[in-house]
């Protein structure tokens, strides 16, 4: 990381740095995110985290020491210039802070809400070495991004507004190239790729299988964690840049690889995600009332299935067991709680320490009354006379030696089982890539896990005009990694067109 990139040659940052001693900065306590009352929110879809006030953000920004060798940047998968955006907040130049974020992150308002900062940028914060709490980088990211959104929305016709200004610029550039590019899937990988390609001046069309744009950001992550309005702002900004969206169109079924060529698309980015749920293949998994988290969350988030009058209403369980310990499991169990579950349980075969979910999600789930049955693993579901799940048998586990993932392996305790009453089970033990695109694009190299194999530097696949990124390449990963792939692929595809 060079020093110019981190912006430390700027005069104002040197002055800011001298304005307060490092110890004084370090002694400021970390800000607390204002959040809705736990009892209220366990019945409400309102966003739990309320966002920092300007005053809180200004104070928190002072905690950043603007290190000469900022390790936080190395902890961010897209290498946001973190000290620079935070120091812009400190001098109350919030739109500048948002611009710094946008330089490297296509969706900062999303990432500020859902990135696992505690495992990424914040885990590298120098404060941790001083036994202090890390700077709240994620909260500040969200603050700056939301501020920019609010100000852009309030002055939509203002050419100075970051979104509008960029859209005008891109519309102008678009005329100059006229090369058609197709994107398969409108999740974070597809959106970030589309944004960058539009900025480079390509004519970008995103094909989306579902009726809504946004991928997991819309159909997976619930409103109480990531409001659709936030995702819509980002989508609108892409539309303003000239990106076209075609929904209800399954590439590989509705339209083939060959059709895309016939329609003149010269480059394709596959960002079809990993939407195929895994099951445990245990007895009783076919009973009514047992479903995957993908089905559950998609039906609730996209199809209003929680309403009785919905075309395909979802069963509203009162004793709901969610199997798994990741973000998807937490989203499912907290959704079940909001939909009236009196007993909403997480069943996880390891201990809480090994849970892959964000620490904040686990904390919020507990506050909302979710019961955690860790070191328990389902071995069988039992149905009633109508074929609806009524009980599950759990095997009790203990932790053994670390396995290949580095986490302690769960080991069965012989003979220790427990039967509990349930009326709904949501299986949330991971996802696999959707096999449709890999099989419909003949010539793609596919791994044994079903992921598309790409050149890691360019995201180009075995087919020279096809690039791929996000979960279809990585398996279930994260929003920021998917976005990073989209950006990398856009840069590489653009370079290849420029060469020819």
CB of 500 to ligand FAD, least distance (A): 27
| Most distant CA atoms of the chain, gap in Å | 75
Contacts of 129 (CB under 8 A, 6+ apart): none
Tokens of 106: 């296509």
Q: Considering only residues 100, 327, 374, 460, which one is a binding residue for ligand FAD as defined by CB under 6 A?
A: 327
Of 276, 215, 314, nearest to 429 by C-alpha is 276
The sheet carrying 180-184 orders its strands as: 244-246, 203-207, 180-184, 265-270, 466-468
Note whether 477 binds ligand FAD by CB under 6 A.
yes
Contacts of 162 (CB under 8 A, 6+ apart): 95, 98, 99, 102, 148, 152
Q: Considering only residues 66, 141, 223, 331, which one is a binding residue for ligand FAD as defined by CB under 6 A?
A: 331
On whether the CB atoms of residues 6 and 70 are closer than 8 A, the answer is yes
Residue window 430-469: x/- pattern of binding to ligand FAD, with contact defined by CB under 6 A: ----x-xx--------------------------------
- Which CB atom, from 187 or from 289, has the smaller least distance to ligand FAD? 187
Whole-angstrom distance, CA of residue 368 vs CA of residue 391: 24
Note whether 188 binds ligand FAD by CB under 6 A.
yes
Note whether 471 binds ligand FAD by CB under 6 A.
yes
CB of 251 to ligand FAD, least distance (A): 4
Note whether 479 binds ligand FAD by CB under 6 A.
yes
- Per-position DSSP letters for 343-409, written without gaps between them: EEEEEESS-GGG--S-HHHHHHHHHTT-EEEESEEEEEEEE-TTSBEEEEEEEEEEEEEE-TTSSEE
Alpha helices in 115-227 (DSSP H): 126-129, 137-154, 162-177, 188-200, 216-219
Note whether 290 binds ligand FAD by CB under 6 A.
no
User: With the C-alpha atoms ordered 329, 330, 331, 336, is the resulting torsion angle positive or negative?
Assistant: positive
Q: Considering only residues 96, 203, 208, 423, which one is a binding residue for ligand FAD as defined by CB under 6 A?
A: 208
Whole-angstrom distance, CA of residue 424 vs CA of residue 304: 18
Using CB under 6 A, which of the segments 2-10, 27-35, 248-256, 372-380 binds ligand FAD? 248-256
Of 135, 80, 71, 134, nearest to 108 by C-alpha is 80
Q: Considering only residues 64, 78, 106, 114, which one is a binding residue for ligand FAD as defined by CB under 6 A?
A: 114
Note whether 215 binds ligand FAD by CB under 6 A.
yes
Of 90, 187, 195, 194, nearest to 144 by C-alpha is 90
Of 492, 94, 479, nearest to 273 by C-alpha is 479
Contacts of 174 (CB under 8 A, 6+ apart): 198, 201, 202, 203, 241, 242
- Which CB atom, from 28 or from 436, has the smaller least distance to ligand FAD? 436
- Which CB atom, from 253 or from 307, has the smaller least distance to ligand FAD? 253
Contacts of 95 (CB under 8 A, 6+ apart): 147, 148, 151, 162
- Within residues 83-112, the interface with ligand FAD by CB under 6 A covers none
Whole-angstrom distance, CA of residue 125 vs CA of residue 136: 10
Using CB under 6 A, which of the segments 52-60, 76-84, 144-152, 474-482 binds ligand FAD? 474-482
The dihedrals phi and psi of 99, each to the nearest 5 degrees, come to -65, -40
- Which CB atom, from 16 or from 348, has the smaller least distance to ligand FAD? 348
Q: Considering only residues 70, 138, 185, 242, which one is a binding residue for ligand FAD as defined by CB under 6 A?
A: 185
Residue window 337-376: x/- pattern of binding to ligand FAD, with contact defined by CB under 6 A: ---------------------x------------------
Q: Is 44 exposed, middle or buried (0-12, 13-18, 19+ CB in 10 A)?
A: middle
Residue window 7-46: x/- pattern of binding to ligand FAD, with contact defined by CB under 6 A: ----------------------------------------
Residue located via tokens 């075309």: 311
Note whether 275 binds ligand FAD by CB under 6 A.
yes
Q: Considering only residues 164, 174, 272, 335, which one is a binding residue for ligand FAD as defined by CB under 6 A?
A: 272
- Which CB atom, from 31 or from 114, has the smaller least distance to ligand FAD? 114
Note whether 271 binds ligand FAD by CB under 6 A.
yes
CB of 428 to ligand FAD, least distance (A): 8
- Which CB atom, from 7 or from 469, has the smaller least distance to ligand FAD? 469
Containing 269, the helix (H) or strand (E) segment is strand 265-270
CB of 99 to ligand FAD, least distance (A): 23
Whole-angstrom distance, CA of residue 55 vs CA of residue 19: 18
* Strand pairing category for 431-432 and 276-277: antiparallel
- Within residues 371-430, the interface with ligand FAD by CB under 6 A covers none
- Which CB atom, from 162 or from 324, has the smaller least distance to ligand FAD? 324
Note whether 190 binds ligand FAD by CB under 6 A.
yes
Note whether 209 binds ligand FAD by CB under 6 A.
yes
Q: Considering only residues 70, 77, 138, 220, which one is a binding residue for ligand FAD as defined by CB under 6 A?
A: 220
Contacts with ligand FAD by CB under 6 A: the residue count is 41
Note whether 478 binds ligand FAD by CB under 6 A.
yes
Using CB under 6 A, which of the segments 63-71, 195-203, 249-257, 373-381 binds ligand FAD? 249-257
Q: Which parts of this chain interact with ligand FAD (CB under 6 A)?
A: 114-115, 184-190, 207-210, 215-216, 220-221, 250-252, 271-273, 275, 297, 327-328, 331, 358, 434, 436-437, 470-472, 476-480, 482
């Amino acid at each position: 990381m060079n020093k110019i990139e981190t912006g430390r040659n700027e005069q104002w940052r040197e002055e800011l740095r001298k304005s307060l001693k490092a110890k004084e900065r370090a002694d400021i306590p970390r800000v607390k995110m204002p959040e809705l009352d736990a009892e209220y929110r366990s019945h409400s879809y309102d966003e739990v985290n309320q966002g920092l006030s300007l005053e809180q953000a200004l104070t928190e920004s002072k905690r950043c020491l603007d290190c000469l060798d900022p390790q936080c940047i190395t902890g961010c998968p897209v290498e946001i210039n973190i000290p620079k955006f935070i120091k812009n907040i400190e001098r109350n130049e919030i739109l500048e802070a948002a611009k710094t974020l946008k330089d490297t992150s296509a969706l900062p308002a999303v990432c500020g809400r859902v990135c696992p900062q505690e495992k990424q940028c914040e885990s590298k914060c120098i404060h941790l070495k001083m036994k202090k709490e890390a700077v709240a980088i994620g909260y500040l990211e969200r603050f700056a991004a939301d501020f920019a959104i609010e100000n852009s929305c309030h002055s939509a016709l203002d050419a100075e507004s970051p979104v509008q200004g960029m859209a005008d610029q891109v519309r102008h550039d678009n005329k100059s190239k006229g090369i058609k590019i197709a994107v398969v899937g409108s999740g974070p990988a597809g959106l970030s790729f589309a944004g960058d390609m539009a900025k480079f001046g390509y004519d970008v069309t995103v094909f989306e299988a579902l009726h809504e744009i946004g991928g997991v950001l819309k159909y997976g992550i619930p409103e109480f964690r990531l409001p659709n309005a936030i995702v819509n702002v980002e989508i609108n900004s892409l539309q303003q840049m000239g990106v076209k969206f075609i929904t209800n169109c399954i590439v590989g079924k509705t339209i083939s690889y060959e059709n895309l060529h016939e329609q003149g698309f010269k480059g394709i980015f596959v960002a079809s995600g990993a939407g195929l749920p895994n099951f445990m293949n245990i007895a009783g998994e076919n009973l009514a009332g047992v479903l995957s988290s993908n089905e559950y969350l998609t039906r609730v988030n996209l199809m209003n299935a929680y309403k009785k009058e919905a075309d395909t209403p979802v069963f509203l369980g009162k004793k709901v067991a969610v199997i798994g310990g990741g973000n998807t499991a937490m989203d499912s169990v907290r959704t079940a709680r909001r939909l009236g579950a009196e007993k909403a349980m997480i069943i996880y075969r390891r201990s809480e320490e090994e849970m892959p979910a964000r620490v904040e999600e686990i904390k919020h789930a507990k506050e909302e009354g979710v019961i955690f049955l860790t070191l328990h693993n389902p071995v069988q579901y039992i149905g009633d006379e109508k074929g609806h799940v009524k009980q599950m048998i759990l095997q009790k586990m203990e932790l053994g030696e670390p396995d290949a993932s580095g986490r302690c392996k769960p080991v069965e305790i012989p003979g220790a089982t427990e039967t509990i009453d349930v009326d709904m089970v949501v299986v949330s033990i991971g996802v696999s890539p959707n096999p449709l695109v890999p099989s419909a694009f003949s010539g793609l190299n596919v791994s044994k896990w079903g992921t598309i194999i790409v050149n890691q530097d360019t995201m180009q696949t075995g087919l020279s005009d096809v690039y791929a990124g996000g979960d279809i390449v990585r398996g279930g990963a994260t929003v920021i990694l998917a976005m990073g792939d989209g950006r990398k692929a856009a840069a590489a595809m653009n370079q290849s067109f420029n060469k020819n």
